[in-house]
A and B are shown apart, each in its own frame.
Chain A
Amino acid sequence: MIPTPQSNSARLITPTMLVLWLVLATVPLWIGRAGLYPYLGIEILIWSLYALAFNLVLGTAGLPSFGHGAYFGIGAYAFGLCQFNVVANLWVCLAAAFAVAGLAGALVALFISHRRGIYYAFMTIAFGQIFWTLAIKSHKVTGGEDGLLKIARLPADFGFASFDLAGNVAFYYFVLMVFGIAVIALWRLVHSPYGRVIAAIKQSEIRAAHLGYNVWLYKASIFALSAAVSGFAGGLFAMAQLAAFPDVMSLHQSGYVVMMTLVGGGLVSFWGPVIGVFLFLIARDVIGAMTNAWMLYFGLLFIAVVLFRPEGVAGAVMAAWQNRSLNSMRKQGGTALRLLVGGGRWR
């Protein structure tokens, strides 16, 4: 389970969230002076949302999904296509991104939810590749490899007031607001009775089934839900990029979200994926400015994390914070990893 104090898991808004939001709210004020640019902030928020959604499957449910980029991409395309063909309204288009990616996830879940371990992992890769190929080859719908261009940042209409999101700072605050709401929703979801059953299934599918829970339905629904939220993040990403490209659906990019989540410590902490996204994207920009081979160094870092700190950054920080021995944390990280593929076994 997620080792936060009991009182926090019952809260709607935790102190960590407040601090995070306050810090994030000041980002546009200083990010330019730090040698970075406001767009990076937008990217980090969107990828954080995506990684949190992905971690519902990987960390909370313990299901190895390696083709999650597909749903992120589907959301981006759905946002663009809805804008062009249905109605150019921000809320409708974001809802479309959520719904279409969720439907795609539900369809895939039908095929994979009775599988485990390596077969589950590879089925997710296969479906990811199918969606990616469809996106590249359907020139008329998606624009093929050129991508779906000229997607606009639609104004946010709250009824009483309407905000123009074309500027990066305005859009950043919009994404921050959406991110805040989504974090609360995901936090509640993970700590709801439903979330607890999911966590129980991660520990032992057989035990959960014997307690009378419909394991298949839980596994299918969490996958579809994760896909839907990933698609929602994809819709925001289409707005940020002003376009939707198929490369976010490729196996490489699906691998990146796995790496971010694990390096950050998504297996032991709710916030792990967010930490991972920060590290990954900032490393990309900072190391990437110095050398072309930033993936080389990030790959080496990733190897080191897997070998020496499988619980990730969040795990290491929590261990220091709670003054526990690193050894016990390592065991915890190990358990989480073991459960991931060892899905439903008692050992």
Chain B
Amino acid sequence: MFDLLPHILNGLTLGLLFALIALGFMLIVGLMEQINLAHGSLFALGAYFAMQLMGPRPPFPADLAQSWLALPLGWRYAATLILAPAAVGVVGIAIEFCMRRTYGKDPLYGLLLTFGAAMVIEEMIRLTWGTRDYVLQVPQAVNGGFIFGDLIWSTYRFYAAGIAVAVIGLVWLLIEKTSFGATVKAGAHDSEIVRALGINLTRLRLLVFVFGTMLAAIAGIIVAPIWGIRPHMGVDAVIPAFLVIVLGGVGSFWGAVVAGLLVGLAVGLSGAYASEWSLLSMYVLLVAVVTFRARGLWGKKSVLEA
């Protein structure tokens, strides 16, 4: 049992990251009933923007770049955590403006549209940054490792898991405990009534979508030092995100979090015994659950099935 402990811990931290990756996707699926297949590309875009900001040649005018580079690494990192998602949010606005045409129609329209958007973004990433791998610098404080119980642990993994817990908590507070969240949920439930109450639903949807894309970017920045930055990272993220949502059940917040943890545990534990096959474990887990539970763990009825 004690031998397993590191793998379980590893799996749990990985699971929190999966939950973080799925968070923005879940928000858009749950509150707008739209599947955003560009989620992974936006995730990658966040990582690339952050890499550019943290790198030796930040995308600023010369004098501003100089004073930016003079800042301590920690400050720059903190600013990047805000600036890069904001930049990705702008891309999100563009996608939402296209997606508007599909509201009220079948969700498949949105899915196909964002599939096209994902292709375009990934290709643009290839054109701008090439196909090589990049590394995202992180501050000393969260880098390196420590020794605990005769084992070396990576500090960054725990930092990333902590950020994941914090972001998940904040998003939960926002959608469950604020009037903004209540309005958004009402808008998903019955858009006509919400409009009749004088609420600007168009703006509300834009906000939700942009918020979802910014969460994708944050996840990208947090995960980048672990996975590395390369064009394919978008696909590597969107599939687990989609899987976590389907496993947890569409429309269930805690379903997604639990599903993320389960997927992390499955990948972590199977990685301990058969690392070759560890990626397969999440699909087997999904098939096992969805074969018996039609809507995943705690899914609600939605337009997306029927």
Interface residues in chain A, defined as those with a beta carbon under 8 Å from any beta carbon in chain B: 64, 111, 114-119, 122-123, 125-127, 129-130, 133-134, 137, 251-252, 255, 258-259, 262, 292-293, 295-296, 298-300, 302-303, 306-307, 310, 334, 337-338, 340-345
Contact residues, B67-119 vs A (CB, 8 A): 98, 101-102, 105-109, 112-113, 115-117, 119
Q: Convert B282-306 into 0s and 1s, putting 1 for each residue whose CB lies closer than 8 angstroms to a CB of A.
A: 0110110011001110000010111
Contact A122 B242, CB 8 Å, known A307-B113, A345-B306 = yes
User: Does B101 contact A337, Cβ atoms closer than 8 Å?
Assistant: no
Minimum Cβ distance to chain A for residue B113 (Å): 5
Q: B239: which of A129, A334, A342 is its contact (CB, 8 Å)?
A: A129
Interface-located stretch among B16-24, B163-171, B184-192, B273-281: B273-281
B160 at the interface (CB under 8 A from A): no
Cβ of B116 and Cβ of A300 under 8 Å apart? Answer: yes
Contacts of B283 in A (CB 8 A): 126-127, 129-130, 133
> With A117-B305, A122-B242 given, is the CB distance from A299 to B108 under 8 Å?
no
**Cross-chain contact A125 with B290 (CB below 8 angstroms):** no
- When the two chains form their complex, are residues A116 and B305 in contact, meaning their CB atoms are under 8 A apart? yes
Considering the complex, give the chain B residue whose CB is closest to the CB of A302. Answer: B116
- The answer to whether A337 touches B119, judged by C-beta atoms less than 8 angstroms apart, is no
Q: How far is the CB of A320 from chain B (nearest CB, A)?
A: 23
**A342 lies within 8 A of B105 (CB):** no
B176 within 8 A of A: no
Inter-chain CA distance A262–B115, complex, in Å, is 12
> Which residues on the B side are within 8 Å of A111 (C-beta)?
287, 291
- Taking CB atoms, residues of chain A closer than 8 Å to B296 are 119
- Given the complex, which residues of B lie within 8 Å of A255, measured CB to CB? 115
B246 x A118 contact (CB < 8 A): yes
A298 to B116, CA, bound (A): 9
Instruction: Specify the chain A residue showing the minimal Cβ separation from B242.
Output: A122
- Residues of B within 8 Å of A129, CB to CB, are 239, 283
8 Å CB contacts to A: which residues of B208-244? 235, 239, 242-243
A200 to B280, CA, bound (A): 36
**Quick check: A293 and B123 within 8 Å, CB to CB?**
yes
Whether B120 lies near A118 (C-beta < 8 A) is: no
For this complex, 6 residue pairs linking A to B, each with C-beta atoms less than 8 Å apart, are A117-B306, A119-B296, A126-B243, A130-B287, A295-B119, A307-B113
With the chains together, A134 CA to B127 CA distance in Å?
A: 32
Q: A118-B35, A255-B115, A307-B102 are in contact. List 12 more A-B contacts (CB 8 A).
A: A115-B294, A126-B286, A130-B280, A251-B239, A295-B119, A303-B113, A303-B117, A306-B102, A306-B116, A334-B105, A334-B106, A337-B105
Instruction: Give the chain B neighbours of A341 by CB distance below 8 A.
Output: 106-108, 304, 306
Given contact pairs A133-B277, A303-B113, A116 touches B306 in the complex (Cβ within 8 A):
yes
Cα distance, A127 to B284, chains bound together (Å): 9
| B290–A115 touching, CB < 8 Å | yes
Contact A293 B127 (CB under 8 A): yes
Task: Say whether B124 faces chain A, with CB atoms less than 8 Å apart.
Answer: yes
| A298-B119 CB under 8 A given contacts A118-B305, A344-B306 | yes
Tell me the bound Cα distance from A274 to B36 in angstroms.
28
CB of B305 within 8 A of CB of A337, answer: no
Q: Which residues of B contact A116 (CB under 8 A)?
A: 305-306
Residues in B neighbouring A115, C-beta threshold 8 A? 290, 294
Indicate whether A296 sits within 8 Å of B120 (C-beta atoms), given known contacts A119-B295, A122-B242, A338-B106. Answer: yes
Task: Say yes or no for B250: interface residue by CB 8 A criterion.
Answer: yes
Contact with A along B138-161 (1 / 0, CB 8 A): 000000000000000000000000
| A130 & B290 in contact (Cβ 8 Å cutoff) | no
